[in-house]
């Protein structure tokens, strides 16, 4: 019996190209990494470092006191929802957390995304949205009069995750140019991979994409990499990249993205990062993962100083603090 074809992917070229520096982000939507250039990234990273120092010293401030953030999550989330909530509260703001049980809200009565967004903007100064449909954040932004921040739209993009990923690489290794970055796992549906790859095209890096054949990086994104003139190669074997990688960015195979579960069963345990494999890696490198993991990184790797994924999680709060302050005009 023939397998079902994989669904098409959203083309982010449909989004407007924006470039903002500093307070130019005030009132803006955060929908795609294509909105950011190196100047904007440098600004956000500087603000994130300031947020980190502030949290270490005093825990929080009243920078966003009186502001309200609505977190609207149509898909499960632990890190993204928690870090946005923590970010807003550490800045003195308040949160409307619609992060569980959306199915029991007016959505169950057939309310459209547009009407949900137009309702929430009556209460909130900004809206964070996670949705299973690619392009949903853009749809929400079209109807909203307050900033919309894309917290992941299906297999599309996850811009705030990519910003914290890039920030983590910079903080861990001290630079971005000249690095060799290997992406491992679900590269077709992995929105974190899509967004981080797009950001990395702004730097002089080498990219290696490691995946099973059915989970290869979408051609549209590979074409962006090639258009940027970067050294990029694809392989099916982690052993081909482990010795030279400065960054090993591992992702889980996402069961929820498969319409044919037999395809998922074929590839779900294709890659596992073990202590034995890590003996072949550089002494100075980092292993990253957007989490959650479902077996692709062995727990014994957690004690390796090169395992950066929980430091990566913490960086998410600092980046989102910087972004919230910027879009709400307080950075």
At residue 16, φ and ψ (nearest 5 deg) are -65, 145
Which candidate in 56, 57, 109, 279 is catalytic?
109
The stretches of the chain forming alpha helices (DSSP H) are 38-58, 79-90, 113-120, 136-143, 159-173, 191-200, 219-227, 261-267, 275-278, 309-327
Catalytic: 158?
yes
Given 80, 99, 197, 201, which residue is catalytic? 80
235 is catalytic: no
Task: Provide the H-helix boundaries in 174-237.
Answer: 191-200, 219-227
Does the CA dihedral 137-96-18-37 come out positive or negative?
A: negative
Q: Which of 20, 79, 118, 314 is catalytic?
A: 79
The angle at the Cα of 74, spanning 330 to 210, to the nearest 5 degrees, equals: 90
Distance CA 70, CA 158 (A): 18
Question: Helix 38-58 and helix 309-327: axis angle, to 10°?
Answer: 100
Give catalytic status of residue 109 as yes or no: yes
- Tell me if residue 80 is catalytic: yes
Q: Is 191 exposed, middle or buried (0-12, 13-18, 19+ CB in 10 A)?
A: buried
Q: How far is residue 253 CA from its own chain's centroid?
A: 16
Q: Which of 67, 90, 131, 158 is catalytic?
A: 158
Catalytic residue numbers read: 79-80, 109, 130, 158
């Amino acid at each position: 019996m023939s397998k079902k074809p994989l669904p098409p992917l959203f083309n982010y070229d449909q989004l407007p190209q924006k470039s903002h520096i500093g307070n130019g982000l005030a009132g803006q939507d955060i929908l795609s990494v294509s909105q950011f250039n190196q100047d904007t990234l440098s600004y956000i990273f500087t603000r994130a470092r300031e947020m980190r120092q502030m949290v270490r010293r005093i825990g929080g401030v009243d920078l966003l006191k009186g502001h309200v953030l609505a977190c609207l999550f149509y898909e499960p989330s632990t890190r993204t929802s928690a870090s946005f909530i923590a970010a807003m509260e550490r800045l003195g703001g308040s949160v409307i957390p619609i992060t569980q049980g959306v199915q029991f809200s007016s959505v169950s009565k057939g309310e459209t995304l547009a009407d949900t967004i137009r309702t929430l903007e009556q209460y909130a100064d900004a809206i964070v949205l996670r949705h299973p449909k690619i392009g949903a954040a853009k749809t929400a932004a079209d109807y909203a009069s307050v900033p919309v921040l894309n917290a992941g739209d299906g297999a599309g993009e996850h811009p705030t995750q990519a910003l914290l990923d890039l920030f983590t690489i910079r903080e861990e290794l001290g630079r971005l140019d000249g690095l060799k970055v290997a992406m491992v796992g679900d590269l077709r549906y992995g929105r974190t991979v899509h967004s981080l790859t797009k950001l990395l095209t702004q730097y002089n890096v080498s990219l290696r994409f490691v995946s099973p054949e059915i989970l290869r990086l979408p051609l549209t994104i590979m074409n962006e990499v090639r258009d940027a003139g970067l050294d990029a190669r694809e392989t099916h074997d982690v052993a081909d990249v482990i010795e030279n990688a400065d960054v090993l960015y591992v992702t889980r195979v996402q069961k929820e993205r498969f319409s044919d579960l037999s395809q998922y069963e074929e590839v779900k345990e294709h890659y596992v990062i073990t202590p034995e494999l890590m003996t072949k890696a550089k002494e100075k490198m980092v292993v990253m993962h957007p989490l959650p993991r479902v077996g692709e990184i062995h727990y014994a790797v957690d004690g390796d100083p090169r395992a950066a994924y929980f430091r990566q999680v913490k960086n998410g709060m600092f980046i989102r603090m910087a972004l919230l302050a910027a879009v709400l005009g307080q950075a």
